[in-house]
Structures are given as C-alpha cells and as structure tokens.
A and B are shown apart, each in its own frame.
Chain A
Amino acid sequence: MITNPLRDPRDRRLPRVPEPCALVVFGITGDLARKKLLPAVYDLANRGLLPTNFALLGFARRDWGDEDFAELAREAAHKAARTPWREEVWDRLATSVRFVQGSFDDDNAFDQLAATLDELEGTHGIGGNAAFYLSIPPAMFPVVLKQMQRTGMADSTPERWRRVVVEKPFGHDLESSRQLNALVDSVFTAEDVFRIDHYLGKETVQNLMALRFANTLFEPIWNGHFVDSVQITMAEDVGIGGRAQFYEQTGAARDVLQNHLLQLLALTAMEEPVELSAEEIRTEKLKVLRAVSLPEDLSTFAVRGQYEQGWLAGQRATGYRQEEGVDPHSRTETYAAVRLGVETRRWAGVPFYLRTGKRLPRRVTEIALVFKRAPHLPFADTDTEELGNNQLVVRVQPDEGVTLKFGSKVPGSVMEVRDVSMDFLYGEQFTEASPEAYERLLLDVLLGDATLFPRNAEVEASWTVIDPLEQFWAGTTPQPYRAGEWGPRAADEMLAVEGRRWRRP
C-alpha cells in the first residue's frame, strides 16, 4: 500500500530514503568505523540519502566530549569520503552527532546511552528508530547484547524499529556460530539482524544476478551440460598487516572461504529466485549452500598453505612466521584451496574450485566459468593446438566487468585458432560514481532491506562446509609457498590430477 501520496512507482528519480532514525556505532574509534563507516555516512548525507531526521551516536571507552568526537568523525570522513567534500553538508551532519563514553560492562554508560537515544527523539525526532552497528570483536558481543537487552534498547515495537548490524567473523565454527546466532536472536528478532558481508554490496556481485537472470544468452549454458568447472578466486597481495592476533586464530579458510567465497559460490550456482526479493534470494542461496559437498579425498582436494619470505611487486616480503605477533611455529594457513561439489541436477559433477590467499602476486577477485570443449572439432589437430576452454569471467575487483574468452582465427593464410578475450569493463570513473559497498549496505540496513545480507541459516550452512575441512587440517602443517607466488605446488596438483589448471587471474 502506498502511504505517501508523493511516491509514484513510475517516478524513478526519487531515491529510497530511510525513515527518521539514529545510527549507533559501538567501537566508533576502531579502524572499520574510521575508514569505512564514517565516510559512508558522510557520502550518504552528501548524496541526500539520509532521512530528514537523523542522528549518529558513537560509543567507545575514550573520554571524549561531543566536540572531540565530531572532530574525529570529520577527519575520518574527510579523509576517505568518495564524494566531493562540502563543508556545509558536514556542518549539518555534525549537529546530529553524539558521543557516549563508557566501557561495555558499565551499566551506567548503557543507561546513559538509552537516555541519549530518548533525548534524540526529542531533539532530532528520530522516531525511536535505531540501528546498532557492532564494530567490536565478537568476544564483546555477549556483554554488549546483554546490556542492550537490560536497557530494553533492542526491542522493536510496532511504533519503532531497532536493528543490529554484525560484522564477520560470525563465529569460528558451527557450534560457536550457533551460540552467537542464538545470543543475537535472543536479544533482537531474526529479521532485525543484518550480517554484513561487504562483498555482496559490490556492484559487480549484484550485476551477476542481472547477467544471469536478465539475459537469455547465459542461462541456457549455465549448467553441468556446458560448464566444465568453476573457479572462484580471491587473492590479496598484502600480508596480514597488524592483525596478527586475529589472524593467528582464524586463518584464510575461516576469514574468507567461509563467508565471501561461499557467498560468491551461492550466487553463481543458485537457481533463479521466484522474485528479486530478500526472502526469495536468500532461500535460493541457502538451497545451494545446503547442497555443497566436500570431496572424499581431502588430502588431494583440500590444500592449505602459508607464505614464506619472498619478493612481491619488487619488494622483499617477510614470511608469515616472521611477521610481528605471529608464533614462529605457527600452523595457521594464509592460503586455502578446495574442490567443492554442488549436488543438484544443474551442477552434479561440476567441480567448484575455491581459493584464497595472502601475498599472492596481485589483488584480484573473480568468478570464472570454464566451459567444456566442443565435442567435435572439424579442424586439423595442429589448427587448434592453441585453443583452450571457453571461459566467462566475472571480475569482481579490480577492473570490474565481464570477460568472455573464446577461440578465433589467427589472421593469415592458414587456419589456426587461438584464444581471444572480449571485455566488458566499467570505466574506472563509472565505478567511482557508484556507491561504495559499505554505503550501499548501510543504506539498506536503515531501509530494512535484507536482500544483500546473508541469513542465519546461510552462515550455519557455510560452517557445515568448513568444519570438516578444519578438522581434517587440525594438527597438520600448511604447505609453504613463496610470497609472490600463486600458492603452494599442491594447489596446482589438485587441479592437475583431473587434467585442469588454475586460470591466472
């Protein structure tokens, strides 16, 4: 029902703007808040996408006044904003910025927070609506959530909504993620919980759905009859940075495979949703995740690695075990590759090769569909020596776009066929103008649109895939690879035993 006479479904110039609300950020002094959240809030304001009545509330231990906080927020937003800086936009935003000081176990601080929220209702007219962004280590979740429950801040009522945003990691195995979900769900209702996987906010990932479901060209060949294998890669050239403590306990499989790669797999392999709504898309993704199977021979088809010192992009890179804060005998993996199957009629028999790693030659994320070779080639054998498999590659980042690789005749007097690639590239400028992932996701939270957020059951289904891997790997030492290489030798052998090889992204 249209409750607003000015809204016209035909009028698509008008953007979706959330209802009046407050955004409460726990851990506002943290890295994520400064580098991503605060700039995203400014960009949203600058694009005119924030509601007419809006307030930003920061909560952290530091002893600050509203002004100190506003200053930090200004600096952070100014530094990382993607839209041009306009002082007047910030000035207006700054009038609705509040800071509450306190530690998470401090009852008074939370009473104060609740009081500030009530006060904002009077001064800023936020309508009682609030989204809580937990930009804090998961170990703190229980304390913070209990506090919110105690003060009644978490209760959605028909008059107002209260939502919570949770960052990964969503637990470290099935058991812990169940506990975490149970805890979050006991405080907030399930539809008010938003789990951020920022990859899903990327333009190209959303474009994957447009590519598959808006065109007639791709869907008929998007199955095991035509697809030989699927390779999903997320490579980073950086090391672990200052996150040694976190990384030592996590490793590549839990950090990336469990969430980003499995979500990309789900979007690639899912059936067409009945409609493009949050519930329907999540239903289809969940079906795929539940159908994911692990190989029987894990020793061949699940590889983990750890980088040793080497050279990367013309610079010397230290090995993982030599990084500051890392155990010199660490068995944490910085590279993980696995061959998964999707047990559905569409995908039975098609291997999905997933890999992720740090200190690989370049930063790249892509989904590559490798097609079967033509059943018969009417050419002489020598003519098609250079012809490989046709490929369709969705480049998630960088150089967002789509590549189609196919055979073409080499110009000349003899018939010779070799691979060429056809590129669709969003100009760098074009992607600049489109909203950043966090901006998009933050807006969706405030609008209550859960399309791009994985559901509870998806997270648990993903852990069901990862847990046996972790169990298998427990106690083993990861295979070494040199920084600046495409992973350990065993990962190449993993594909070679089936006559395939990794695509070089």
Chain B
Amino acid sequence: MTTLWDTTGSAVVKELAAQRRTGGAVLSGVALTLVVVADEGRVAEAEEAATAAAEQHPCRLLIVVRRQIDAPHPRLDAEVLIGGRLGPGEAVVMRMYGRLALHAESVVLPLLAADAPVVTWWHGPPPGRLATDALAVIADRRITDSSLADDQVAALHTRAEDYAPGDTDLAWTRSTPWRTTLTSALDSVAGRRGEAVRLRGGQVEGDPDNATARLLAGWVGARCGCDVPLVSATRRPGPSGVSAVVLQLDQDEQVRVEADRRGGAAITQPFRPDSTVALPDRQLGDLIGEELRRLDPDEPFADALEAATGVSGLSDRSPVREHVWVDPAQAAPSDGQMAPEVPADSVDSDEVALEGEHDTAERVP
C-alpha cells in the first residue's frame, strides 16, 4: 500500500501501474470499474461493502471522498492498494479538497479500466440531478440509495423525475428477497393448478415512509396492472420496511407472505400447509454484489418506480446524460440543485487543506 499526500492524478496513475508491475499476479482480468462516492463519515462502511462486492466481481475500485469544497487550495490525497485491505483487486481511495472536488472526473477518468463498464455508486445523498455530477455522466450504470435519505419517499420521487435507463437504487435491490419469495409462492400455486394464475390485486403492509416498501407495492401493482396500496403495519417492520404482502388471485384464492422477523417469512396459501422460507436482511456488500451482476438497464425497476411514484415514461428516456455544470458557490444553498453536494463534514477545519501545505510522495510500508 502506498499513500500519496497532496498529489496529482498522473502520480496516482503512475503509482497504480508501478504497483501492478511489482505486486505480482494478484488478480488478473477486470470486468468493470466501480466508482464509489462517499462522505468521510460513511467511507469505512462503503469500503467494506465495495470490498465484499469486489470479491464476487473482479473490478477496479475507485473511492472518491469529497471534502471541504471551500478549502482555498485544491488538493488530492490518494491511497493506492493492490490485493490488500480492499479486496483482491486494484483499489484507489482518493480524498479531494477544495474546487478539485467539483472536477473529480479529471482524476477518475485516467484511472478507469480500459474499455470496461463503469458503475458509480453514491453511498450518501446523491445529487438531485445526476447529470450535475460528472461521475454519473461517465458511468454506464448508476447506483443510488434512497433509503439513506431523511424523506425516503421524496428521494424516490426525485429519482423517478431524474431517471434514465441504467439508473438503479439500493432500495429496489433490498426488495429482491421479497420478490423472489412472492414469485416462488405463485409458482407453487401455478404448479398445483397446472394452469396460469391471474393476479387480481394485492396489498403491502409495512412502513409507508419506506422506499423499499413503496417499490415493492409498485412492482406488484405494475405486474398485475392495478393499484396496490401500501398500508401501515400494526407491527414495526424490519429494515426492508415490509411486514407482509397479500396477493389476491383469481378463483378467489389468496396468498399471504409475512416476515417472521427472524430472517424468515411464513407463507399462507390455499390447499397447502403453511411454510417458512429464508428471507434474510442482506449486507450492503451483497446488495452491491447483486447490482454488479447485470449492467444492462433494469426495466422492471423502471416499471416499479413508475407505479410507485406516478411519474411515467421512464423507459423511453435516453440512457445518455449530458453533463450540467453547477457551481455550488454560485447556487443558493436551499434550491436543492447544489451538486456535487458538499459533504456535511466540510465545516470542520483541516489545517492542511486550509494552509495547502505541500509535501512529496510519502511511502508507508
């Protein structure tokens, strides 16, 4: 591992190449570049998750931490690792201070793995319009997480307004175990009947303020072509925000899946005894791992997002974004257009950043 203090993008590129040459065969064959945008407060969490995901998908990991956008001197600190703390592959953690944070892509672009897809993941509040962050524009796939927002429903709405094919949200990823269980429950009904099942409607019980619960209701609604209400659950639901789902089928049948809050779900269906299946809450790393498995646009997500927010025509939008320059120094802080957003910790003073002290590359063994 090498840490470069107050360095430049080209020094990072050189250092990565040098480590690759001397590091020996750690991992060969890179399928994609994962760019992670995180606040200083969440960077450890993001590192852990990205490392877990990198173990499933050989990738180059670039972690961007934007700090103190108001620091007088732009400055870049970088940590270059191959086969170390951040998994088997190549990883660079970059901390950017001052106006450099607004031009993060200038450091990131030369570090992208050649001709491989780019995935950008914001572990923190993403910009309201992704096009204002150049790191979104260079990405083939963009991962946001609406469940980190204070108002998850509003965040989901923002995502729908801003949606372009290739966008995805971890609130959606969190619904996969529920969707799998519901689908497999209907498979079982179809298997018993030996003919097609029709979905007449349904209801999701859970936390109405939870983005995952909203998307799940939206998904069921999009699949049956009817409105699926999300009603407040009597019990407090788990992290997925859902405590039970009821599906109304034709022939007057009903399937109910209820979380048992112990990593499982109880399924009640006609003509079969109740059963339980695993319905675990997954780690952040598993969620990112699932996202990296497919890099093409996720149409079912677009459908569910449309149904959950009422914004329409999502799949017809252009998958290409044009970068929109927004300078936070000129924008009024309250208009919600501030992007890239200044991390909360930038009010802290950092002497080095303020003084702009320069030193040479320092090697940490």
Instruction: Name B87's contact: one of A1, A8, A88, A429 (CB within 8 Å).
Output: A429
Whether A159 is near chain B, meaning CB under 8 Å from some CB there, is yes
Whether B363 is near chain A, meaning CB under 8 Å from some CB there, is no
Whether A30 is near chain B, meaning CB under 8 Å from some CB there, is no
19 CB < 8 A contacts A-B:
A3-B190, A6-B199, A13-B176, A14-B179, A17-B184, A48-B177, A50-B277, A51-B187, A52-B277, A53-B272, A88-B263, A92-B264, A124-B275, A125-B272, A125-B273, A423-B29, A424-B29, A427-B88, A430-B57
Cβ B278 vs Cβ A14 within 8 A: no
Whether A10 is near chain B, meaning CB under 8 Å from some CB there, is yes
Known: A4-B183, A5-B224, A13-B179. A429 touches B56 (CB 8 A): yes
Known: A52-B188, A53-B275. A427 touches B55 (CB 8 A): yes
Residues in A1-41 with C-beta less than 8 Å from chain B: 1-8, 10-15, 17, 19-20
Residue in A closest to B290 when the chains form the complex, CB atoms? A13
Using A13-B298, A124-B275 as known contacts, list a sample of 10 further A-B pairs with CB atoms less than 8 Å apart, ordered by residue number in A. Answer: A3-B197, A6-B186, A17-B184, A48-B181, A52-B181, A52-B267, A92-B278, A95-B276, A423-B28, A423-B29
Cβ A424 vs Cβ B183 within 8 A: no
Query: Closest Cβ of chain B: how far from A131's Cβ, in Å?
Result: 15
Whether A425 is near chain B, meaning CB under 8 Å from some CB there, is yes
Whether B347 is near chain A, meaning CB under 8 Å from some CB there, is no
* Chain B 165-190: CB-based contact to A (< 8 A → 1; otherwise 0): 00000000100110111111111101
Query: Closest Cβ of chain B: how far from A338's Cβ, in Å?
Result: 34
Could you say which residues of chain A place their CB within 8 Å of the CB of B195?
Answer: 3
A401 and B25 CA atoms in complex are apart in Å by 13
A1 and B194 CA atoms in complex are apart in Å by 12
Main secondary structure of the interface of A (DSSP, over half): loop
Whether B58 is near chain A, meaning CB under 8 Å from some CB there, is yes
Whether A122 is near chain B, meaning CB under 8 Å from some CB there, is yes
Cβ A86 vs Cβ B263 within 8 A: yes
Known: A86-B263, A158-B194. A425 touches B27 (CB 8 A): yes
Cβ B275 vs Cβ A125 within 8 A: yes
Could you say which residues of chain B place their CB within 8 Å of the CB of A54?
Answer: 275
Whether B317 is near chain A, meaning CB under 8 Å from some CB there, is no
Whether A426 is near chain B, meaning CB under 8 Å from some CB there, is yes
Known: A423-B25, A427-B58. A6 touches B194 (CB 8 A): no
Whether B21 is near chain A, meaning CB under 8 Å from some CB there, is no
Instruction: Name B179's contact: one of A2, A6, A45, A92 (CB within 8 Å).
Output: A6
Lowest 3 A-B CB distances belong to which pairs? A125-B272, A429-B55, A17-B184
A7 and B300 CA atoms in complex are apart in Å by 10
* Chain B 25-58: CB-based contact to A (< 8 A → 1; otherwise 0): 1011100000000000000000000000001111
Known: A3-B190, A125-B275. A52 touches B263 (CB 8 A): no
Cβ B294 vs Cβ A48 within 8 A: no
Known: A13-B176, A51-B184. A4 touches B278 (CB 8 A): no
